[in-house]
Structure 1
Amino acid sequence: MTRAATTPMTIDEAMRALMDRLVPVGVERAELSEAAGRVLAETIVADRPSPPVNVSAMDGVAIRLEDVEALASRGLPVAGEAAVGRSAPNLPTGAALWIFTGGPVPTGADAVVQREWLIESPGEVRLAPHVDADAITRGMHIRRQGENARAGDALAQPGVLITPALLGALASVGAVRPLVRQRVRVAIIVTGDELSDAGAAPAPTGLRDSNGPAVASLLGAKLWIDVVSRRRVRDRLDDIRVALAHACQRADCIITTGGVSMGNHDHVPAAAAALDAETIFHRLAIKPGKPVFAARCANGPLLLGLPGNPVSALVTAKRIALPAIARLAGAPASVARPEARAQLQEPLDHPSPITRFALVERCGVDTVRLMSNRGSGDLAAAARSDGFVQIPANDIGDTPVDYYSWSGA
């Protein structure tokens, strides 16, 4: 560690120390049908102009400018249609051709007159009386070849998420197997002798495991993350060491919950040390979540030990684990940034020398209300909340603060 254990790092110092040690995972080809939400790992270029030829932006008729006066006075004969997907026809002088959105602009045409401006009769069209003929100008409603992108133009750079819009662009240029970052494989290990499965009846002093499902849900919602395993182990040093060793063989990131505080049965840091893991930090100047632990396993995987209290586990998963995994995924930093800057409806009563995370509910576009709760074990309060805010050290939150949504990025 970079400082004495009695002087915990700040959240910003910890994130810098963590991010400096992380490099993105490898790359692979993905079928287009499986590429949405993945992180692009190559530059995508247009293989031809877009649009490929001059096309119409409206439904109407294609005409020459020299025929506008005739269109307005006596009308023009309609000599045919410029069909979508066909080669552009020649436009006869003194005539119009039907054309529809996306249709190729006929050779010789100067403008497209929208159908709403026309009076139609069998075999001919005429400009409606309320339309000024001077409003028809050269190039009107014509999308020029290559105006969206020229052949060879870059459409997307590595490190962006493949959104539905980008996926459509990939399809349009024939990039049907884009190069993407591999999904970050995450193994979740929940520690605790008191825990049972969510579907089981717990002992009188026991608890159902809530951390495993909650953390898996938060992380698994990201298509660049693959939660490869979730298991529960007892508070035994050897059991935790074996579980970590097994996870190191199949995961890029290991998330544990519990076992990182000061109790006699908190063995995660010792189990990591037994596997020659390099400690990055242990205990931060934050509340809740102070005991959080981070290390780098000898063979490469990242280990993040989250506290066992459910609110602490969720907050640190969102605020610390998610940005770290995003770095491993090569994803843009924006995917793990706060969703908004929000104003507390009522600030805290007094400042604190450490960073505080507080559960809130939204009560306006950029306003949140602090939620009453009974501490980091109050999962009922967390369930009612919309997310949490980060209140800096020595601050009471009387100016806008970072807001993190449970349902956001």
Structure 2
Amino acid sequence: MPNTTPVPWAEARETAWAAGYEHRGPATELPFAEAVGSALAAPLVAVSDLPAFPTSAIDGWAVAGPGPWRIGGEVLAGQVPQPMKPGVAVKIATGAQVPEGTEGIIRLEHSEIGDDDLVDGPPAREWREPGEEAAHGEELLPSGAPVTPPVIGLAAAAGHATLPAHGRPAARVVVFGDELLTSGVSREGRVRDSLGPMVPPMLTAAGAATVPSLGPVEDTLDAHVAALRVALAEADLVCTTGGTMVGPVDHLHPALAEIGAEYVINTVAVRPGFPMLLARTPDGKFIAGLPGNPQSAVIAVVTLVAPLLAGLRGLPLPPLRTAHLAEDVPGRGNFTHLALIDRAGRRLGHHGSAMLRGLAGAAGFAVVGPDTEAAAGATVDLATVPGV
């Protein structure tokens, strides 16, 4: 039996992230939609001046020479204008290319048009110069920067169609348990599976490309091994539910041994959720063992899976937020306590490990460190759930 000394919660997060980062695959040029949520695998460089030509910052009149100016046409965005002539005013739209020879632009709201169709008003330099935002070849963002929607916009404006990044790891949930139903209500000693439908959207929110869950898988070692092999054939990460202890129907540990997986983490000093694990197969794929109780399984996603996926995509360890407690939160001895709280900092009811009602309305988990308690008014770390 492998070492079962629980790993401190903060160390577990860092270890899971480091395992993912160390074993992330090679980066490729990805379309924007596939790169978003990853990290740049190389610096983002402007492939042209930004803007590439002088661009009007306002709707107005481009003028040259002394005024007042005779109206002489218009320039819209997307057009290449003729050079300006002295004494002429050309109506220009925001974002349009400024004609060569323009000496100033009069804002529409500051302009006056006389009965003789002459434009008058105070001209100013109301345009963006070529390269004002970035020069051709200039580094815009460093390698490792998260690819967010604004980064996608910047990359497109700078002339890119793809980005060097790590794609979404493929992930699949394998649900263990003869006692689970996939439809209807709990009955006759069997309960409705909540993790099969709940965990995949969390994995998607955490950066995985997720396929439908597999199972429920019957409680035999052969069935567990077969299910793991099927899931690993098409996924970089397999998240199993249940079977993380050593009871009479807990077959995950012997199944991991059967397929040659090695433990990265085996149990974490956190309540709820301590019997979680992370293992790695000989061919570099990962298996995250989530406890069967729903809230414990979610804590395993927060603790191990979200950091692992961040590492696999080249991202930093997901930062914790903070929360201001409105009431006391007890500790859990020498284990870290992850306590459900709402957005007002109040501890939620229905917070048992097997319950989901409190979790459904939670802002996240207040982090209460080992051998401590958190008093009302304290500011504590907040671990949030992917997708919430």
Name the SS of the counterpart of 1:165 in structure 2. Answer: helix
Name the CA shift for 1:171/1:352 in 2 (closer, same or farther; >3 Å).
same
CA RMSD of aligned residues (A): 2.6
Q: Are 1:62 and 2:62 counterparts?
A: yes
Q: Are 1:123 and 2:106 counterparts?
A: no
Larger Rg: 1
Q: Which amino acid in the other structure matches residue 239 of structure 2?
A: I
% identical equivalent positions: 30
Task: Return the offset for 1:158.
Answer: 4.2
The residue aligned with 1:11 is 9
2:151 to 161, 166, 174: 166
Name the CA shift for 1:357/1:91 in 2 (closer, same or farther; >3 Å).
same
Q: TM-score, normalised by structure 2?
A: 0.89
Q: Which amino acid in the other structure matches residue 250 of structure 2?
A: D
The residue aligned with 2:100 is 107
1:32-181 to structure 2, matched below 5 A, reads: 32=32, 35-37=35-37, 39-64=39-64, 67=66, 71=67, 75-121=68-114, 123-127=117-121, 137=124, 140-181=125-166
1:226 to 201, 209, 220: 209
Name the CA shift for 1:392/1:207 in 2 (closer, same or farther; >3 Å).
same
Task: Return the offset for 1:295.
Answer: 1.4
Name the CA shift for 1:182/1:83 in 2 (closer, same or farther; >3 Å).
closer
The residue aligned with 1:130 is none
Residue-by-residue CA offset, 1:223-263 (whole Å, 9 max, x unaligned):
x4112352121221221122223323222111111101242
The residue aligned with 1:341 is 322
Residue-by-residue CA offset, 1:329-379 (whole Å, 9 max, x unaligned):
22343xx333x210110122566321011111112xxxx110122520112
Q: TM-score, normalised by structure 1?
A: 0.84
Task: Return the offset for 1:92.
Answer: 2.5
Task: Return the offset for 1:307.
Answer: 0.8
Name the SS of the counterpart of 2:133 in structure 1. Answer: coil
The residue aligned with 2:362 is 385
Residue-by-residue CA offset, 1:160-219 (whole Å, 9 max, x unaligned):
44433333333334432444323201121111121111x245442111111111111211
Distance 2:205 2:329 in 1: 32
Q: Which amino acid in the other structure matches residue 298 of structure 2?
A: L
Give structure 1 stretches of 5+ with no counterpart.
Answer: 128-132
1:352 to 327, 333, 342: 333
Q: Which amino acid in the other structure matches residue 107 of structure 1?
A: E
Q: Which amino acid in the other structure matches residue 256 of structure 2?
A: A
Distance 2:307 2:346 in 1: 25
Give structure 2 stretches of 5+ with no counterpart.
Answer: none
Does the CA contact (< 8 Å) of 1:82 and 1:89 recur in 2?
no
1:196-215 to structure 2, matched below 5 A, reads: 196-197=181-182, 199-215=183-199
Kindly indicate whether structure 1 or structure 2 has the higher relative contact order, using CA contacts under 8 Å at least 6 residues apart: 2
Distance 2:120 2:210 in 1: 65
